[in-house]
Structure 1
Amino acid sequence: MAMVGLFWIVEGDVYVGAKPSGHAPGVRLTSEGVVGLGDGQSGLHLWEDVRALTVGGVPVTSLMRQVGAVAEVALVTVKELALPMGMGPEVEAPPLMTVCVDAADGEYELGAYAAAAVGYTQTEADLSRALLSRLTEGAATMQTTLAAMSEWGRAWEGGSAPRKAEREELLRGWLG
């Protein structure tokens, strides 16, 4: 599994944001369409009906976000040392992004948790948004693009996380 831009790719499956588990919200991109996962958003939006696909609420990496993440880790560590046993750390959910599906039968908002701990780079966010837009350009483009992303995910499985420059290069390549 690996994160490339806003996409989480595992064993050929492509998700926007983190791959959900249990009842957590998530969005999977399949050859059939956009699938909402988790409580309250299950459903399939067929590609032939999807006119636009956008994402909002994307946390973008900034110095303040990075400092905040380090400060949070330090605070949790101090709390764990100072509090009696049994008072475990509070787990805060990652930022929730909104994947907007403009379909022939209406507009849908699907939630997906961000996979990047301190946010995404602006370049990766922009390239990912362009790639989501590209997926709605037609069946041939969508099939080719998703196939390339899935193939990369299967080949990459078990490898180390790609670095920023490699992630950006992959996104540009998938954009064509």
Structure 2
Amino acid sequence: MAMVGLFWIAEGDVYVGAKPAGPAPGVRLSPGGVVALGDGQAGLHLWEDVHALTVADVAVKSLMRQVNAVKDLALNTVLELATPLGSAWGDDAPPLMTVRVAASDGEHELAAYSAAAVGYSQTEADLSRALLARLTEGAATMETTLAAMSQWGRGWEGGSPRGTEREELLRGWLG
């Protein structure tokens, strides 16, 4: 499993944001369409009906976000050590992103958790948004792009690639 831009690629599956677990919200990009996962948003939006695919509320990496992440980690560590039952400090859930699907039956807003702990680089966010737009350009484009992403995911071993490698992959998938 690996994060590349706004995408989480697990073997052959491509998700926008983190791969959901249990009832958590998520969005999977399948060859058939955009799949809404999790409590309250199950459904399939067929590619032939999707006119636009965008993402809002993307956490972009900043110095302040990184400082806050380190501060929260340190505070949670101290509280875990100081209290016998652990702490209930803060919300450990990552930020939510909004995936907007414009389809022939209307606009749909889906939720997906961010996969980046301190946010995405602006370049990765921009390239990912361009890639999402590219997926709606037609069946042939969508099929070849998703196939390339899935093939990479099936062959990749290890964690997420470094930032420059991720940007290079996104540029390659954009063609």
Shorter chain as normaliser: what TM range? over 0.9
CA distance in 2, matches of 1:86, 1:121: 36
Deviations 1:49-88 (A, max 9, x none): 00000000000000000000000011111112222x1134
Task: List aligned pairs for 1:1-176, cutoff 5 A.
Answer: 1-83=1-83, 85-90=84-89, 91-156=91-156, 158-176=157-175
What's the TM-score, normalizing by structure 1? 0.96
Q: Secondary structure at the match of 1:143?
A: helix
CA distance in 1, matches of 2:120, 2:16: 13
Deviations 1:140-169 (A, max 9, x none): 00000000000000000x324210000000
Moved more, 40-49 or 160-169: 160-169
Gaps of 5+ in 1: none
Shift of 1:175: 0.2
Could you tell me which amino acid in structure 2 is paired with residue 175 of structure 1?
L
Q: Is the 8 A contact 1:51 1:103 kept in 2?
A: yes
Gaps of 5+ in 2: none
Could you tell me which amino acid in structure 1 is paired with residue 10 of structure 2?
V
Could you tell me which amino acid in structure 2 is paired with residue 63 of structure 1?
L
Q: Percent identity?
A: 75
Q: Secondary structure at the match of 1:65?
A: helix
Q: Is the 8 A contact 1:25 1:38 kept in 2?
A: yes
Shift of 1:119: 0.3
CA distance in 1, matches of 2:123, 2:168: 11
CA distance in 1, matches of 2:149, 2:49: 22
Q: Secondary structure at the match of 1:115?
A: coil
Q: Secondary structure at the match of 1:124?
A: helix
Shift of 1:92: 1.7
Deviations 1:22-61 (A, max 9, x none): 0000000000000000001000000000000000000000
CA distance in 1, matches of 2:169, 2:117: 20
Q: Is the 8 A contact 1:99 1:109 kept in 2?
A: yes
Could you tell me which amino acid in structure 2 is paired with residue 50 of structure 1?
V
Number of residue-to-residue matches in the alignment: 174
Q: CA RMSD in A?
A: 0.9
Q: Secondary structure at the match of 2:21?
A: coil
